[in-house]
Chains A and B, each alone.
Chain A
């Protein structure tokens, strides 16, 4: 059967490892089954893929591992519905479908020589974790690296082992926080909401960029804080996570005005997002 490429056809990958981050968030380490795909697959931090649980369908997640780590990819997802719950039923050794990488990415080369401020809330750490590890793997290309990460409660913090690793490093400043009431007696981070904790940590905006990912409400309250810290709109990056299906600009689902988030995004500067001033 000689025919042109079916853009909806996923590559098969094997689940090599499973880590439960929280009661409902899970990380999968995936290895492509086809040798050629495994060798040739490349992506940039910020890109996403469509992952399928056969029989349930496809879901959109960012690629959470760093492009600097070869041979596998990781995704990290919260179980919320049909596909994610089916993905959750899979075990080590099972097959899942992956198509991608899709979308644009964080322009990491443009960040060389600058300080980086990562700000994430809840399950939104994965889209930044790929950038964080990418940049840590190229550590000498950047100045200060600050990570402000918060969740509702201690139990909701994802990648706890990596948070511990970042906390240990003296070339990273990690500020970890949970909402008031979400802390246990031994919590070693801050208690408070991400925007407030960020304001208190006061990273310098000089020659710096801020990367923000989180629920809309967190982003809404974080942007004014960044502004007060001196960050201009084009120094702030975020990702829009509109509902997606095709991932390739056909199904008409993800648009914000004439912007297709799956093709033109998901990474945008705060300036670009403001210019849209429309539903998302």
Chain B
């Protein structure tokens, strides 16, 4: 028999986890927007709208210390950050477009050199994903190969049912452990009648075909046409669940301070600027081209994954109305 959890018990589960000193993060109303935030109680959880920013900052914070340094008695000392204190975290209520992204990012952060800041957080996290019931004009997850009920990336997957409860499926050992540890909250369902999904009506994209076109069209008038209006604000990268570029900088004096790793964006004009003044991506449309190429070609070449989950955030946020889904469907429709 499939397992279910009632709405009330889902909120009770959050209360319990908080009591166990776990950090529970989920969509929460904060000011006028819904964001992924630490939940203090089950009643905080809001499942009716996609958080404005993605959940990647749980694993890859906007800004974090990677070491501290201090001069003592004339001698410099460098101290590592204690990662053993990263908290056990449960991410609850991530739709497939957000639950999928850490699994995609694992590749770059564990490639050859392990970024333990990211990986340790990943080890200590459990992702409770939830099937989506509502797309909007900007969503296109189904076009990039996900579906409203894609379990990939989730440890435990919830499906909203018609009666208001949730069907549960433990996808990984971590998910199973979460259910086993709180078995009393989960019940068995006689039937699981999933709630209806409001389809966005986006066409399916042929990602292999798009990649193929990108391969042969590094120089194409398209880039100037679509991307000359990009103002390089970086919004699209900062709210994207898959963008992972970062910078490293020191904060403090020469005597004492910290070295910090923080988000960066290939849309910024100085991102690739050489000290000599030479800049390989000297104009904005080249930077935007890199954004598309990285997501739909380079990342796939290197790691066999597409660096976009179709969450549509960049479409909603772009101040000049650049629509990545539209660009992809334009490319998808090309014959050569």
Contact = CB atoms under 8 A, between A and B. Distances in A.
Given A243-B273, A278-B218, A279-B281, A249 B80 contact: no
Contacts of A253: 245, 264, 271-272
A255 B246 contact: no
B248 A246 contact: yes
A81 B276 CA distance: 10
Contact of B250 (A55, A81, A255): A55
Task: Label chain A's interface by main secondary structure.
Answer: loop
A83 to B, nearest CB: 9
Residue among A6, A54, A243 with max Cβ neighbours from chain B (10 Å): A54
Interface residues of B, number: 55
B245 A2 contact: no
B244 A9 contact: no
A278 B78 CA distance: 39
A6 B81 contact: yes
Contacts of A216: 278
B76 A12 contact: yes
Nearest to B83: A3
Contacts, number: 136
Contacts of B302: 258, 260
A187 to B, nearest CB: 25
Contact of A255 (B84, B254, B294): B294
Interface stretch (B6-14, B105-113, B126-134, B180-188): B105-113
B276 A258 contact: no
A2 B218 CA distance: 47
- Top 6 A-B pairs ranked by shortest CB distance? A252-B245, A95-B76, A55-B254, A258-B301, A248-B113, A80-B275
- Size bin of chain A's contact surface: 35 or more
A181 to B, nearest CB: 21
Nearest to A256: B280
Contact of A80 (B108, B276, B297): B276
Given A55-B255, A252-B266, A258 B297 contact: yes
Interface string A1-32: 11111111110100000000000000000000
Given A215-B276, A243-B274, A12 B78 contact: yes
B111 A9 contact: no
B175 interface: no
Contact of B112 (A12, A78, A249): A249
B193 interface: no
Contact of A249 (B108, B246, B259, B298): B108
Nearest to B74: A93
Nearest to B245: A252
A257 interface: yes
Interface stretch (B114-122, B141-149, B162-170): B114-122
B248 A245 contact: yes
B313 interface: no
B209 interface: no
Contact of A279 (B80, B82, B109, B280): B280
B247 interface: yes
